[in-house]
Amino acid sequence: MREYLELEFAPIRYELRGFDYDLEKIIDDWVLMGFLVGNDFIPHLPNLHISEGALPLLYKTYMEILPTLDGYINEGGTLNLRRFEMFMEKLGQQDLDHYEQVRDDIMYLETKRGIKSTRDLQEWKAEGDEISELLEPDVSTPCKDSGLASLLKSADELCLDDDSDDNSDDFMNFKKEYYKEKMEYVDVTPEVMRDQAEGYVRAIQWNLNYYYNGCCSWSWFYPHHYAPYISDIKGFTDLKLEFDMGKPFLPYEQLLGVLPAASKKLLPEAYHGLMTEENSIIIDYYPEKFETDLNGKKQAWEAVVKIPFIDEVSNIKI
C-alpha cells in the first residue's frame, strides 16, 4: 500500500516549496482524505461516492493544492485549520460542477418532454413520483435505476426560476433545499450554515484524535444523518476545537446504543424490556419501522438509516 501511495503522489515530489516532500506526512493527509467519504462516525460529503470517482477527485485536488500551501494538512492527528480550509475551498468547486450537471440533465429532459416552464416540470415530476415508488430498492438487491429516481428528486431541489439568469442564486437555492429536506431546517440562516461547517470540522478533528491519539471525548457524536455541502464548509480557520472527555458507557450501555431490538438476546434478559416494552424510557430509539434514504448510493445496505440518535443522558439514567 505504501508503495502504491508513493507512486500515486509522486508527481508533486519536486513541486513543493518551503517544506520537504515527506511520504509519511502525505500518508497522514491520505488518512484524512479518507474520512471525507464517510466512516463509522461521520457521513460522506454530498456527491462524494467511492464508486463514482471520489478518491481520484480527492487525490487530484490534494496534488493541486498542496504545492500552494506551506505544509501538510494533518499534523500528526491535529488539523491545520487554515490549510484544511484551503483544501476544502478547492474541493468545493465540485459542488457547482455537480449542480450544473444536474441542471443540464433536467433541462435536457425538459426539451425531450416539451417542458417549457417550472410548473410543467413539477407536473412531469409528479408523474415521475409513481416511477420513483417502483424504483424503491429491495433490501437485498441493488437499485439499478436509482439514477433516474435521484434525478426526479433533484427536480424538486433545483427549483429553477423560469426568468432567472443568475446561476449563483439558483445554486444557493439548490443547496438550501438540501438542508431543508435532508436536515429538516425550516430556515437556512447564516447561523445554521456556520454551525454546519464548524460541526463537520469538529467531527474531522475528533476522528483524527480517535485514530492517532485515542478518544478525546466519550460523549461526542455527529448529530446529523447527512454532511453539509463541501462548498459550505468554510470560515473555520479560527475555530477552537475543544472536547469534553466525559466518561465511556459501561459495556451493556454501549450495546444498548448500537444493537437493534432484534438482537436483544445478545444482552442479559434484564435488558430486553428496555428495547421492546412501550413504557421503556428509551423505546423511541428502537422503532419497528423507519425511513431509509439511498442519498445517491446504489445498494440498499449503503442507505442512510434515519433512526433517532440516542440521548446519552437517557441511556445513563437506566
Residues 200-231 pLDDT 10s: 999 999 999 999 999 999 999 999 999 999 99
Q: What is the pLDDT of residue 22?
A: 98
More confident residue, 14 or 318: 14
* 166-169, long-range: CB < 8 A, 24+ apart: 167/100
Angle, alpha carbons 306-309-315 (nearest 5°): 145
Q: Where are the domains of the chain?
A: 1-100+173-248, 250-317
Q: What percentage of the chain has pLDDT greater than the value 70? A: 81
Q: What is the pLDDT of residue 166?
A: 58
Mean pLDDT of 70-75: 98
Q: Per-residue confidence at 145, pLDDT binned at 50, 70, 90? A: very low
Give yes or no for residue 161 having a pLDDT over 90.
no
| Cell of residue 160, nine digits | 429553477
CA end-to-end span of the chain = 46
Q: Which of 32-36, 293-297, 301-305 has the highest mean pLDDT?
A: 32-36
Quick one: which of 211, 213, 193 has its CA closest to 201?
A: 193
Do 73 and 80 meet the contact criterion of CB atoms below 8 Å apart? yes
Give yes or no for residue 56 having a pLDDT over 70.
yes
Which range, of 44-53, 141-150, 202-211, averages the lowest pLDDT? Answer: 141-150
Contacts of 89 (CB under 8 A, 6+ apart): 231, 234
Do 43 and 183 meet the contact criterion of CB atoms below 8 Å apart? no
180-204: buried (b, 16+ CB within 10 Å) or exposed (e) per residue?
eebbeeeebeeebbeebbbbbbbbb
Helix (H, G, I), strand (E, B) or coil at 253: helix
Give yes or no for residue 46 having a pLDDT over 70.
yes
Q: Is 45 exposed, middle or buried (0-12, 13-18, 19+ CB in 10 A)?
A: buried
Which range, of 32-36, 133-137, 189-193, 309-313, averages the lowest pLDDT? Answer: 133-137
Element (H, E) at 305: strand 304-306
The mean pLDDT of the chain is 86
Give yes or no for residue 150 having a pLDDT over 50.
yes
Q: How far is CA 12 from CA 6, 22, 90, 290, in A?
A: 10, 11, 17, 47
Q: Per-residue confidence at 101, pLDDT binned at 50, 70, 90? A: confident
Q: What is the pLDDT of residues 230-259, one digit of tens each?
A: 999 999 999 999 999 999 999 999 999 999
Q: In whole angstroms, give the CA distance from residue 294 to residue 115.
A: 28
Q: In whole angstroms, give the CA distance from residue 88 to residue 232.
A: 9
* 51, 152, 189, 168 alpha-carbon torsion, rounded to 10°: 80
